[in-house]
Chains A and B, each alone.
Chain A
Amino acid sequence: MPVEETSAERGPWSLALRRFLRNRLAVFFLGVFVLIVLFVLAAPLWAEHVAETGPNETHTVEQLTVDGEKRDVVTVEGKPIGPQWFGAGGKFFLGADSRLGRDEMVRLMYGGRTSLLIGISAALISTLLAVVLGLLAGFFGGRVDTVIARVLDTIWSLPVFLIGLAVGIALAVGGLKLGPLELSGGSLWIPIGIISIFTVPYIARPIRGQVLALSRKEFVEAAVAQGAGPLRLMFGEILPNLASTIIVFFTLMIANAMLFEAGLSFLGAAVQPPNSSWGTMINVGVELLRIQPLLAILPGAMIMLTVLSLNIIGDGLRDALDPRGKQKMDAALQFEAQGAEPGTVLP
Chain B
Amino acid sequence: MTRFVVRRLVGMVAVLFAVSVIVFVVFMVLPKQNPAQSLAGKNATPLLVENIEEEWGFNESLPHQYLTMMEKVFTGGLVQYEPRIPVDDEIVKRIPATFSLTIGAAAIWLFFGLLLGYLSAVRAGGWLDRILTGVSIAGISIPVFLLAPVLIYVFANQLEIFPNGQYVPFSEDPWEWANHLILPWVTLAALSIGFYSRVLRTNMLDAMDEDYVRTARAKGLSERHVMTRHVLRNSLIPVVTLFGLDFGATIAGTAIITEAIYDLDGVGFYAALAVEKFELPQIMGVTLYGAFFVVLMNTLVDVFYAYLDPRVRLGEAASE
Contacts and interface: CB of A to CB of B under 8 A. Distances in A.
Interface of A: 153-154, 157-159, 161-163, 165-167, 169-178, 182, 259, 262-263, 266-269, 279, 282, 285-286, 289-290, 293, 296-297, 300-301, 303-304, 307-308, 311, 334, 337-340, 342-343, 346-347
Contact of A162 (B149, B280, B290, B316): B290
11 contacts: A154-B18, A158-B22, A159-B252, A162-B294, A166-B286, A169-B280, A170-B38, A175-B33, A267-B257, A290-B153, A338-B242
Residue of B149, B245, B248, B287 with most chain A CB atoms under a 10 A cut-off: B149
Given A165-B271, A170-B38, A157 B15 contact: yes
A300 B146 contact: yes
B219 to A, nearest CB: 31
A158 B253 CA distance: 11
Given A158-B15, A171-B26, A303-B145, A268 B276 contact: yes
B15 A154 contact: yes
A163 B22 contact: yes
A342 B317 CA distance: 10
B13 to A, nearest CB: 10
B200 to A, nearest CB: 13
Contacts of A159: 248-249, 252-253, 290-291, 294-295
A307 B143 contact: yes
B122 interface: no
A168 to B, nearest CB: 8
A269 B291 contact: no
Most A CB contacts (10 A, CB to CB) among B23, B26, B141, B315 go to B26
Contacts of A267: 256-257, 260, 271-272, 275-276
Nearest to B253: A161
B135 to A, nearest CB: 15
A154 B137 CA distance: 31
Nearest to B298: A157
A300 B33 contact: no
B315 A297 contact: no
A303 B18 contact: no
Query: A-B pairs with the 9 shortest C-beta distances?
Result: A174-B31, A347-B7, A300-B146, A159-B252, A175-B32, A174-B33, A166-B287, A347-B11, A161-B253
B51 interface: no
Given A262-B145, A300-B149, 8 more contacts: A170-B283, A263-B254, A282-B145, A290-B157, A300-B146, A304-B142, A346-B14, A347-B6
A170 B291 contact: no
A157 to B, nearest CB: 5
